[in-house]
Amino acid sequence: MNYQTFAPPAHLAPYVRFFWTLECEVPAGMPYVHRCMADGCPELLFHYKGKFDKLNGDNQVENCFSSGLQAQSRHFKRFIIKRDFGLFGVYLYPNALLELFHFAATDLTNGMPDLQTVLGIEADMLEEQMMLATDNKQRINIISRFLEMKVAKAKTVRPEITQTIRHIIASKGIHNVETLAGKQFLSLRQFERQFKTLSGFSPKLFTRIIRFQSAIAEAKNQSRSLTQIAYDCGYYDQSHFIHDFREFSGYHPKHYFSGKSEAPILY
């Protein structure tokens, strides 16, 4: 399996966290199952080789888009593919949904709309260009040019809330919601309403998901105990850590950190 990340151009950095690619050769008769964890950020996805399908709760296969948006989600999802694949992703900040694509984040939360739903008449040409690109460097150039056109028409919405969202991500979710609201000189109710429009989640749920993601990132440090990881990621105790991990991944953390889960450690 080959997973790579690429930094966006500086002028796209307020909207794009990074670009990524995932490629894998799948042996015949050995389907590859991938589990996507809960995530506070949306991402554009382009299957340029092969195509994953979604597994529902009964392990029944559901058709999935070739290109589209995986919105921010509080639920894990499972996908399957039976052949070699190549997948290109644009990992976005939540504010990109409203500022670039004119969707309130709450309209898309937990959803997976196809590219036509998100982009309308622009979708077909972009999808074709991404599919026919000779390599991922060319795909980065194509999607960067497309997003640059979106940025040129973007209207900044509540920059102070956007900055708060970015700060929560950068600080790995270790925040008090009341304190965040006070810094914006807003009542708690006003702050929560505006935050949810831009992120798709309440501030409390968003910080929980970001904190969970920071714990996943610690999986690469095998020398630390689960208790150490929990405390370092801002959990009050191990029971809260286990509760969030089960809710957002479907796994007990011990199973995930064993490296035997369906979700490979990519971070």
Residue 221 and residue 59: Cα distance in Å, rounded?
Answer: 32
Q: What is the pLDDT of residue 116?
A: 97
Phi and psi dihedrals of 211, rounded to 5? -65, -40
Q: Where are the domains of the chain?
A: 2-152, 159-257
Q: Are 5 and 20 in contact (CB under 8 A)?
A: yes
Total H helices, total E strands in the chain: 11, 9
How far separated are the first and last CA of the chain, in Å rounded? 14
The reported pLDDT for the residue numbered 44 is 98
Taking alpha carbons only, the member of 1, 5, 39 closest to residue 19 is 5
241 touches 211 (CB < 8 A): no
pLDDT above 70 covers a percentage of the chain that reads 95
Q: How big is the chain, counted in residues?
A: 267
Mean pLDDT for the stretch of residues 129-138 = 96
Window from 73-82, 91-100, 132-141, 149-158 with minimum mean pLDDT: 149-158
Contacts of 78 (CB under 8 A, 6+ apart): 33, 34, 35, 36, 54, 55, 262
Q: With contact defined as beta carbons under 8 Å apart, do 207 and 173 qualify?
A: yes
Q: Which two tokens stand for residue 85?
A: 């694949």
Cα→Cα distances 96→71, 115, 157, 169, 244, Å: 11, 15, 10, 15, 26
Closest among 118, 74, 107, 101 to 155, alpha carbons compared: 101
2.40.128, 2.60.40, 2.60.120, 1.10.1200: CATH of 2-152: 2.60.120
* Confidence check: pLDDT of 21 > 70: yes
Cβ 180 vs Cβ 90: under 8 Å: no
CATH of domain 159-257: 1.10.10.60
The whole model's pTM is what? 0.91
